[in-house]
Structure 1
Amino acid sequence: QRIEVTSRDELGELARAFNEMTTQLARVRELEERLRRADRLAALGTMAAGIAHDIRNPLTSILIFSQLMSLHHDDPEVRQKFDRVVPRELERVQGVIEDMMELARPTTLHLEATSLNEVLAQVVELFETQAATQGVKISREFGPDLPLCMADRKRLHRAFSNLVANGIQAMTAGGDLDVRTSLVLPARSPELPASLSGVQAPTEAALRVIIKDTGQGIPPERLSRIFDPFYTTKEKGLGLGMAITHRIIEDHKGTIDVQSQVGFGTTFTIHLPVTL
């Protein structure tokens, strides 16, 4: 709100200065709104491109096989391919929709007493065959007698699965994937390796999970965006996996840190409270 200038004395000068400041603030607010609008449009464009890419491919497959069925509905081989391909492609579309909903809807956790070691053991078992075919050795070092934590077992399984899958995918020429757990007590917490010196230690008792790969590593300019929705460096995928993982950990009142060095690999460090 501007002030009417009625004099040329010091009060008048103050009034004019105030009016000039008001004008400048209005311009700043207008610029901020333009930037916010541009950011929203950019995010929308990125999202639309990702969705179009991930849905167009399976829909194209479904369309092709539907056309083949209409022309060769009596051909047993065509029917077998249709029965095999179409359900698989529909599952891909459903997966994209579920990932979108995962980020968009409010979170409801189904908490239960959960063994972190058990969840991670199941995740490792799930990926052992895939890892072996890529020449990746998975090593596990689980802390003994870890206390249970109140957690949504299914969602934690998904978060850890995303991290393990990313680690394996980063080691196209083989390598090592280490999965470790420990209990952190602030007064005498286990020392972090020198490579993790930038990770903030928890101030209360927490369960620590470290997932480390010896893959290609992530450049600093990409590392800062790794948890952004719709950001991906892969040819396929919406780029929602890490964003969903980050949200799951935060929903559990935990923290997740990432450190990486190009040519040496990437390390994710998660801290989860013993109780929520």
Structure 2
Amino acid sequence: MWRRFTEAWGVAWQITALNFRAQLEYRVEFLIRIAYGIVWQLSIIVFAAVLLSKFSGMGGWTSSQILLLVATRMLCNGLYVLYCGSVFSLSFYVQQGLIDGYLLRPMPVFRQVQLVAFQTNGLGDLLVGIGLFTGAIARDPLDWTPGRVAYLAAGVLGGTLLITAVFTAVSAAALHFPASWYWSLWIAEVSATFGSYPLSILPRAVGELLTWVLPIAFIAYLPVGVLTGHGGTLGVPVAVAAGAPLAALAMYVGSRLLWNWSLRHYTGVNG
């Protein structure tokens, strides 16, 4: 079993390397794609700059705490785009009939979807995320003990899995309703708009919606809130907030089970 696992992921690594080399064949376009990822996140950079220069805080959070929230969400998003971003475009693969061909190959379909292309723009997203994250860590006055560092790392991993889980669930619907791609666009916009703010500044109903229906709060708001001492004001029990990384893992597993169930009931591009 271990040998099959290592061989399978060895093949995946080779495909990724080939896709990356194919992107490098067009150096200017490669750099443009990276720049596109950076420019796409420019509004977040501007938001962070204005926040640090003009405001002392927001909703009981200091500017350095909000910067850590913004940076954590950005880092999670960059990791998602780079490693799992292809799932965002699954509806197009369904419309083009590519999924039918994937079913014939000796590799899990979900993995094939991830390996269809190297997400070069994700490098730009990730560069922005790493830059903001490094600055936020240096600016925050927290005592970064090994426990806090480990929890923050778990929070970043959990946030990445949570974003992947949301778009995996939407892509499961795309196997049957390709127009669900518009839902992916809407979710990406909502996440970018509200995921960088403390949800406590929003009306309670909106905060509940972004916690329990579209669980954006689990990406960065809850784990960063616990780290920065806001555990009692997050709108959820402290145990739930502290367990956000584990909840994100559970949601990812659930989304993969949903995706596998949808794939078993996939009837082809023509129904």
How does the TM-score come out when normalised to structure 1?
0.26
How does the TM-score come out when normalised to structure 2?
0.26
Say which one has the larger Rg: 1
Q: Which has the higher contact order (CA 8 A, sep 6+)?
A: 2
